[in-house]
Amino acid sequence: MAVTMHDVARLAGVSIKTVSNVVNDYPYIRPQTRARVEAAIETLGYELNVTARQLKQGRTGMIGLAVPDLRVPYFSELAYSVMRAAEDRGLTLLIEQTGPMGERELDALRGQKRRLTDGLIFSPVSMSPDDTTPLAVTYPLVLLGERVFQGPVDHVTMANVEGAKAAASHLVERGCRHVAVIGAHPGEVVGSAGLRLKGFQAGLTEAGLTPDPRLVGVAGRWVHATGAEAMRQVLDTGAPVDGVFAMNDALALGALRELHRRGFAVPDDVAVVGFDNIAQTLYSEPPLTTIDVSRKHIAHEAVRMLIERMEGLDVAPRLLTAPFELVERASTARQGTT
């Protein structure tokens, strides 16, 4: 078997309590005792058995992050940020995938992995605001992302309405008069699609423009392919288009591709704004203006709230809204400034 504290204690001539004290940086240890123990650890190549500590302490030091699909840049970048935030707080992050459509969300919520973590940060896709009962769990849980739940848990969301409104305003200020929106989910009002549509239309209305129903492109999933398809449908209506707000960057990149295919110049013929500020928007042709919702901020706050719950904080569910920022790039540059 492996070297244990008992072996170290024996060699150092102390009790295992003292070894434990040294390993855990307990302060009041006589320097020479500490030195003897450390020498013994070195000699034997002792390493703490984390599992035994976990069993005794009733904690694992791990937290879970459940996202739909790591292949989607938004989620891999989110995972990056949450992992960094967790490390900053001395926690290990266990990433789990719930499937592109959230097929395995219930597994994540109540599966055996929950016994491996002290809490969960959960980014839902398929859960309906109508049925929040699966969220009534007995462990610390923080919800992430775009849906608004009245549920019994803490929640970090983003400025969907305000961000979309800023995108619309930016396009109008730039001179656009026929602004399409890509990514709508007809009938959905409390999810990110509904909120971003609402903000977008508010931005147009405030500028004195009337939203044109022909310029609303529907896209169920928010990926490149559906963005191109929705752009195609909008253009096929024959309505004039000189600006596009896509509800996320993947849709925007798909729309960009369809615009190119049809011979539209971006930004001179059509200006485009996305949402999320994923890394590849820096390198699209042209680089994409987008709404940054600060994943770093979201990650940091989510970890902070989760730790508070893990430490026993007992207050009503909290809702935090991360700030946004419009990042201007070439896809909305004014003519002649490209």
The window from 47-55, 63-71, 78-86, 215-223 that contacts DNA (CB under 7 A) reads 47-55
Residue 45 C-beta: closest distance to DNA, Å: 11
Chain residues 56-95 in contact with its own copies, contact rule CB under 8 A: 60, 62, 69-71, 73, 76-77, 79-80, 83, 92-95
Confirm or reject binding of residue 92 to DNA (CB under 7 A). Answer: no
Q: Is the bond preceding residue 286 a cis peptide, omega within 30 degrees?
A: yes
Chain residues 257-296 in contact with its own copies, contact rule CB under 8 A: 257, 260, 279-280, 282-285
Rg (CA), the chain: 26
Two structure tokens written together for 221: 């999933």
The window from 24-32, 232-240, 245-253, 311-319 that contacts DNA (CB under 7 A) reads 24-32
The window from 26-34, 151-159, 187-195, 322-330 that contacts DNA (CB under 7 A) reads 26-34
Two structure tokens written together for 236: 């096929």
Confirm or reject binding of residue 16 to its own copies (CB under 8 A). Answer: no
Confirm or reject binding of residue 49 to DNA (CB under 7 A). Answer: yes
For residue 46, give the nearest of 10, 88, 73, 87 by alpha carbon: 10
Confirm or reject binding of residue 221 to its own copies (CB under 8 A). Answer: no
Q: What is the DSSP string of 177-228?
A: SSEEEEEE-TT--SSHHHHHHHHHHHHHHHTT----GGGEEE-SS-SHHHHH
Long-range contacts of 11-14 (CB under 8 A, 24+ apart): 11/40, 11/43, 11/44, 12/36, 12/37, 12/39, 12/40
Residues near 205 by beta carbon (within 8 Å), at least 6 away in sequence: 211
Q: Which residues in this chain contact its own copies in the complex, by CB under 8 A?
A: 47-52, 54-55, 60, 62, 69-71, 73, 76-77, 79-80, 83, 92-95, 97, 112-113, 115-116, 224-225, 228, 253-254, 256-257, 260, 279-280, 282-285
